[in-house]
Structure formats: structure tokens, C-alpha cells
Structure 1
Amino acid sequence: MACKPGHTAIVILNWNGLHHLKQFLPSVIKYSTGCEIIVADNASTDESVAYLQAQYPQVRLIRHSTNLGFCEGYNLALKQVEASYYVLLNSDVEVTPNWVSPVISLMEADEKVAVCQPKINAYHHPHLFEYAGAAGGMLDMLGYPFCRGRLFEHLEEDNGQYNDVQEVFWATGACMFVRASVFHGLGGLEPAFFAHMEEIDLCWRIRNAGYKIMYQGSSRVLHVGGGTLHKSNPHKTYLNFRNGLAMLYKNMPLSQLLPVMVFRIILDWLAAARMLVAGQVADAKAVLDAHAAILRNAGYWHARRKLQQNKRKLGTLNGVYKGSIVWQYFIRQKRTVQDL
């Protein structure tokens, strides 16, 4: 099934990613017949724009005047795109034949499916699942995200164990199919996040509004990962810890909010202490800075929580792993979802 005209728009957010565009855009064009392909450029200072204009005039180019980050970069771009479905696709993703059809068919068959992701394998190690998304995202009782196929730093080999169609808690922003009407109806990505955790927050809000998040194992892409901020970058640590707490505060039901937040704050401080012992002083400081930022902007986050709770249709936090993934991984040494 090729994309229907005006039906599916593949939107790639780019910031100084010329090397990725040269390497991966050809596969998107080759294997996405009938889809509109758009690159939204976040004020790149390399030759990305000139390259696209010269080599791919058929690709629509949306140019932002400043680097708006992942969240606002997509929010502003998607306001300018008319389609039934958006595909938020990282520039460092190689797509494969027939990657669009299985996902769109699944979403067309059930109007309650608002988001879906394909299988994500590691580009440099295709036999492994990739960190950012793997075979669909989950959440534990304390709000820690993990994936089928990836627990913390442990990546499973892909032996076909996730060649299924499965409802999940969240889908990766590296390759996210999303129903356009739902995306805009719920306000898009959280603008204050800039980057990191934004797809989990969006999916949580979409679930709370009564929709489904799905994984389609018949579709497969390969992701390089870490193209903008390496996992060892303290700013990435800051964004992950700040956005993780903010996401919990925005979306967690009131009945669960206080105990979960207390546990998470304690665990965050323990993580910071562990970083100090390991000599990761900048990362430990980033955790403390993240907590300070939440307190400084408490009024904003309270207003965002109120807005989200007013749209909530589900009264409880459903579809989560009932235990602690931190306990299972670090204390009980569990390494796969099947072991939990």
C-alpha cells in the first residue's frame, strides 16, 4: 500500500545533520512512495539547506529562524503540514522496504490507535534492538521508562521475539507515526522540554485521553542514535532528569502522585551519588540542577498539570509494569522484559 496523496507526511527535523541527510534521506525517498517528505530545518549552520535545495527539490523544506529544539521544532513545522498521519522521523534513521504500509494499515483499521512505532534495530549492530524505542516503550510503577528489547543499557538480540503487534505505553520519537488530529488536539509536544522524554509525555497524554499506542513488528527501521547529544553529555543528563520529573508531575493520577514523586526524588539523589563515586561530577551536578529547575518553574508545571488533568478520561494509570525496573535491573540483575 503506497501512501495516499495528502494522507501521510514524513517529517524529518534537521539541525546540522548534513552527513545524516546524505546517508539516510535516499532510503526514505526510495521506500516511501506516495508519502509527502518534508525536512524541517532548525536553523542549521552547515550546508544542509543548500544541499537539500540542490539535490532534492522534490523534498519540501520548512526553515525555522532559530534552533527551536525537538519539541517546538516539530510543533511549529507540523502546524504547516496538512495530512491525516505524521511520521516524526529522525535524520539518522535508515528505513526499509514496506516500512510504512503495515503501520498505516493498523492505524486505519482502528480509529482509537493514535500512535504507532515500527521495530527499531541498531544501525551499526542490526542484530540488536536500538536503545531509543526498540520494540515499544513501557513504564514501571515509578514512572521509569524502558523498552521491550532494552532495559537500561542492555540491548537484546533480535531473534524474532518481538515480531508481533502489541499495545505499548509509549512509542519512540525516532520514528513515530501519529494521527494528526490527535497530535494537534492535545497540543503537540511539550514546548518546555526542548528535547528528551517528549515522546513519552505525548503518549501518556494521548493514553489519558482514551487512545491506544501500538507497536507494529512487521515494519522495521535502523537507527544510529545519539546524533545530537551523546549519552555521556551532562546536558542530556540534565534534560532527562528534569523532563522525567516534570512528566510525572504533569501526568500521574493524584492518587499515585505523592508517593511516586517522593520515591523518584530519592532515587534521583542516589543516582547523583553513584555518579559522584564514579567520577562523573558534571553529571551529578546536572541531576541537582534538574531538580532546582523544577522548583524554579513550579508554577508553570502546575499549570501544565491542570491543563492535562482537565483532558484526562482515564482515572488510573493503566498498562504499566507493576514493579520497579530499577530494582529488577540493578538488584535482581534482570536483563530482558521476559525475565521480569
Structure 2
Amino acid sequence: MSPVLGVTSNYKRQIRFVDTLAIVILNYNGQPFLAKFLPTVLANTDGHPVYVADGASTDESVSFVRANFPEVRLIELPYNDGYAGGYNMALERVRTQYGGATYYVLPNSDIEVTPGWLSPVLTLLKNNPKIAACQPKIRSYDQRELLEHAGAAGGFVDWLGYIFCRGRVFATFETDHGQYDDSRQVFWATGACLFMRADVFHQTGGFDSSFFAHMEEIDWCWRIQRLGYEVWACGQSTVFHVGGGTLHKSNPKKTYLNYRNSLFMLYKNWPADGWLWPKILLRLVLDGLSSLLFLKVGEWSDVGAILQAHFAFYKRLPILHQERKRLQQQQTTEVKLFPRSIVWQYFAEGKKTFKEIYGV
């Protein structure tokens, strides 16, 4: 039996999805990446349509795609609303204007796909209707034997809302020697190359657009698991990711979004067990300690970004509280987080790899 869904009021149940996949690439001022990576995507579509959804770029992205890739379905969005809002608009257009799809895959514009990247993931999705989100293995484009920062081989969340991956824990990146070639259930699948069931995406209201960018896919994965769905990583599919194509890791805005959105996600989704505020206060302390690492290397703007992130979280608490109540009313399944602190495991106990931390 399919899990019960929290259905948004504007979702039209009579929409009938065709049995296919839509490959949808969100772009903002990424014309060089489109020139470099879009040909590889088009060479490995297995006959599925490719969309480029442009978020009001100010470079030559739109004219470039129109002139060089007439087979691409170009969606011009009215403004740049980040990853979350941009994909919400784009996938609604795919659904209403192009007839929709059974599955979506959302590769970043700086993703290099490989031959056969689609088939293993689609097979996994088709064989298990409870899987609503999935990712391939993500390796670094520049250091091709290393698993990459944005998702690696599938992600997890610890009891304080900090994230880590199979193959990447904080600044430790494992060499890929086949240790993650299996397919298994994980907590979150990366937005760098996210496969999803289209009906689940639309029925759950898509991404939380208030996130703008970063962790919106983790928040969505958490929400769909609360409705009884599963998230998986497929080790038989591999793509390569440049990373930081739109917002470089050195940009303080990235620090701000990561810290703020982590708190948004934790507050919205944490179980109703009475321990929420003690965890929030502990996060405040740990986030403050992490700012000392930025101070150590003279990155004062990142320290300011962490402070701004906390103030933004407190300012949004009334809205987050309403979201929390709504999600609790819809929940059908308890979701388990990693029961220990990844910060303590990594920095105090010196456990640097997923196997050392998770045991499998």
C-alpha cells in the first residue's frame, strides 16, 4: 500500500503522469558550464527529454541554449529564486505545460554524467515504489578518484542536525575504490543529482522555497520519510561534480545559508519528544565554536555569516512553528537520525570515515 501523503491544496489529482523521465537542469548565469557539460548529458539521455530552466540569467545562457541545442526544452523563469524556488517553478511548468513525467532527475549544470548513468537508478525506483528519492555516486570532477563534497555516496543527519555522507565526513574525502558500489537506504540524497518520483514531489509541495539554496533537498528527504517513503543511494551509477558552480564554498553567503537552513530543517522536522530546545541551544554553542575555526584563518565574514544565520532563524520562528505543527499532523512514520554527535565522533574520537563512524 502506498504511504499516505500530505497533499497541497493546489495539487490536481486528475493529472496523469506519462511513464518517462524528465532531465531538468536549473541554470543561473552558468553558460560556461552548459557549454561544457550539456553535450555530455544530451549524449546520454536514453531517449528522455532534457529541459534547461533558466532563472533570469544576466549572461548569454538563454540565447546560447536556443542557438546551440534546439533539442533542449527551454523554460525561462521570471526571476532567480534559488535552487528551491527555481525547481519548484520549473517542475510545475514541466508538469502543466509538457505533460509531466513519472520521474525527475535534477543534475546541476556542473555535473558530468557517464554512459549508463540513468538505467540503474530508474531500475531501482521502478522495482521499489516506496523509494521516492535516489542519487548516484558523486565523484569529484577535478580529483576524479575522490568522492565529492555534495553528497558523495548518500547522506545522513546526526541528532543535532549536522550532516555527513558515505565517503565524505567534514573535510575528509575518501578515494572511491568500490566500497560504496552497493545500493542502500540513506537519510538524504544530494540535490547535485537528485532523482525523485514526480507525484511525491508535487503532492508534498516540493522544496521549501524559504531555504533558497542548500539543504532544501535534505529537508524534503526528511519530510517524505515522515510520510513513509524511503531515500536511497545507487552505487551502480556515477557522475562527476565540479561543485560551487553558482555559489563558491569560499562565499560567506554559502556559510550563512548552510547554518541557517540547518536550523530551519532541524526545528521543522525534529520529533515531538520535548528535546528540541535543548538541542537548539547546544547547536548555538557548537556553531559558536565552529566560528573559531573561521577566526583562526582570518575569515571574519564567515563568522558574521554564522551570527546572521542564527538571527534569521530566530526571526522566522513563528513561521517555522506553524510548519512544524502542520508536518506533525501529516506524519505517518517515525524517522531515525544517527544517534550520536558526528562532531564529537570526528573531532574528539578521531573517526574520519563513514565505516569508522557508522560501523557499516
The TM tier, using the shorter chain, reads: over 0.9
2:247 is equivalent to residue 229 of structure 1: yes
Q: In the TM superposition, what is the alpha-carbon distance from 1:295 to its structure 2 partner?
A: 1.4
Q: In structure 1, how many angstroms separate the alpha carbons of the residues matched to 2:158 and 2:277?
A: 16
Q: What TM-score, normalized by structure 1, do the two folds share?
A: 0.96
Any conservation in 1 of the 2:27–2:53 contact (CA below 8 Å)?
yes
Partner residue in 2 for 1:326: 343
SS in 2 for 1:254: coil
Q: Which runs of 4+ in 1 moved over 6 A?
A: none
2:350 is equivalent to residue 337 of structure 1: no
Partner residue in 1 for 2:5: none
Q: In structure 2, how many angstroms separate the alpha carbons of the residues matched to 1:80 and 1:229?
A: 25
Q: In structure 1, how many angstroms separate the alpha carbons of the residues matched to 2:183 and 2:293?
A: 38
Q: In structure 1, how many angstroms separate the alpha carbons of the residues matched to 2:308 and 2:22?
A: 38
Partner residue in 1 for 2:61: 48
Deviation track 1:180-217 (CA, whole Å, cap 9, x = no partner) reads 01111111011100001111001000111110000110
Q: Which AA in structure 2 matches 1:102? A: P
Q: Which AA in structure 2 matches 1:70? A: Y
SS in 2 for 1:130: coil
Shifted more, 145-154 versus 304-313: the winner is 304-313
Query: Quick one: percent identity of the two aligned structures?
Result: 52
Of 127, 130, 150, 2:148 maps to 130
Any conservation in 2 of the 1:5–1:35 contact (CA below 8 Å)?
no
Q: In the TM superposition, what is the alpha-carbon distance from 1:297 to its structure 2 partner?
A: 1.7
Of 286, 298, 301, 1:267 maps to 286
Q: Which AA in structure 1 matches 2:318? A: G
2:302 is equivalent to residue 283 of structure 1: yes
Of 322, 331, 345, 1:303 maps to 322
SS in 2 for 1:170: coil
Q: In the TM superposition, what is the alpha-carbon distance from 1:331 to its structure 2 partner?
A: 1.4
Of 86, 89, 92, 1:73 maps to 86
Q: What TM-score, normalized by structure 2, do the two folds share?
A: 0.91
Could you list the runs of 5+ residues in structure 2 that have no partner in the other structure?
1-16, 95-99
Any conservation in 2 of the 1:120–1:133 contact (CA below 8 Å)?
yes
Of 19, 22, 39, 2:52 maps to 39
Q: In the TM superposition, what is the alpha-carbon distance from 1:275 to its structure 2 partner?
A: 2.3
Any conservation in 1 of the 2:18–2:102 contact (CA below 8 Å)?
no
Of 63, 70, 78, 1:57 maps to 70
Q: Which AA in structure 2 matches 1:66? A: Y
Partner residue in 2 for 1:29: 42
Partner residue in 2 for 1:211: 229
Q: In the TM superposition, what is the alpha-carbon distance from 1:6 to its structure 2 partner?
A: 5.4
Could you list the runs of 5+ residues in structure 1 that have no partner in the other structure?
none
2:107 is equivalent to residue 89 of structure 1: yes
Q: In structure 2, how many angstroms separate the alpha carbons of the residues matched to 1:257 and 1:312?
A: 17
SS in 1 for 2:238: strand
Q: CA RMSD in A?
A: 1.3
Q: In structure 1, how many angstroms separate the alpha carbons of the residues matched to 2:272 and 2:292?
A: 29
2:161 is equivalent to residue 152 of structure 1: no
